């Protein structure tokens, strides 16, 4: 039989006479779980509180040279000097993103040919991730794939986001009717 060292059982490696109480095991488990939770919490990214969309819109407006509007009544009365329909897209595009571009092009080419040919209305389709487009992305305060109507009036640019565009992309007639009406209203046209 092997010799025993003082205080250690030769066959198990356990300290002789040590007892495990359920309370001690529970305390050790709580310390372990608490430590893991603290590390996970510390490593988690901070999340903005409040309305995230409003926070993003404010940040976009702050870096934009144009004034973001939510309705046309926020601009001075009168016909604009120039109108842009601007679609920003990403490098990787889903079905909805491709459909949004297709329906925007279809609406503009079907109903606004004269305004396009005269230079009064302009369709702009840009990849917002390309460095060469940074100036217009900043001007519009664009983030993500998105659709805007840019209105130049009285020497100032106003940006009207079509924030419901993705909600309408599944319904082609409704999308076209909505975009057409907004372009008509923004440009002072009756297409």
What's the Rg (C-alpha) of the chain? Answer: 31
* Residue the block writes with tokens 């309305």: 51
Residue 11 within any structural domain of the chain: no
Segments forming the whole domain that contains residue 77: 52-187
- Residue 42: predicted pLDDT: 44
Residue 105 lies in a domain: yes
What's the Cα-to-Cα distance from 66 to each of 14, 69, 108, 144, 164, rounded to whole Å? 74, 9, 23, 18, 20
Average pLDDT for the chain: 79
Q: Is residue 100 part of a domain?
A: yes
Calculate mean pLDDT across residues 153-181. Answer: 95
Cα atoms in the Cβ-side hemisphere of radius 13 Å centred on 182: 25
In-domain check, residue 1: no
Judge whether 87 lies within some domain.
yes
Confidence of residue 115 (pLDDT cuts 50, 70, 90): very high
Per-residue pLDDT at 63 = 46
Assess if residue 44 is contained within a domain.
Answer: no
Please state, in angstroms and rounded to a whole number, the distance separating the CA atoms of residues 108 and 113.
7
Q: Let me know if residue 9 belongs to a domain.
A: no
Tens of pLDDT, residues 71-105: 999 999 889 999 999 999 999 999 999 999 999 99
Domain count, the chain: 1
Query: How many CA atoms, within 13 angstroms, populate the side-chain half-sphere of residue 181?
Result: 7
The pTM (predicted TM-score) of the whole model is 0.65
128 assigned to some structural domain: yes
Of the candidates 37, 181, 189, the one whose C-alpha atom is nearest the C-alpha of residue 114 is 189
Residue 121 sits in a domain of what CATH number? Answer: 3.40.30.10
């Amino acid at each position: 039989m092997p010799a025993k060292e003082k205080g250690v059982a030769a066959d198990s490696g356990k300290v002789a006479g040590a007892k495990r109480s359920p309370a001690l095991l529970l305390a050790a488990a709580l310390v372990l779980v608490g430590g893991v939770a603290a590390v996970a919490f510390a490593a988690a990214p901070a999340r903005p509180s409040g309305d995230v969309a409003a926070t993003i819109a404010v940040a976009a407006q702050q870096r934009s040279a144009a004034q973001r509007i939510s309705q046309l009544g926020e601009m001075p009365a009168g016909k604009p000097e120039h109108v842009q329909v601007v679609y920003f897209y990403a490098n990787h595009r889903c079905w909805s993103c491709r459909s949004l571009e297709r329906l925007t092009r279809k609406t503009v080419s079907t109903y606004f040919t004269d305004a396009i040919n005269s230079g009064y209305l302009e369709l702009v389709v840009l990849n917002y991730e390309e460095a060469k487009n940074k100036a217009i992305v900043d001007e519009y305060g664009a983030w993500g794939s998105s659709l805007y109507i840019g209105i130049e009036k009285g020497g100032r640019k106003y940006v009207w986001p079509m924030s419901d565009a993705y909600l309408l992309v599944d319904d082609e007639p409704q999308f076209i009717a909505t975009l057409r009406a907004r372009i008509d209203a923004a440009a002072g046209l009756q297409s």
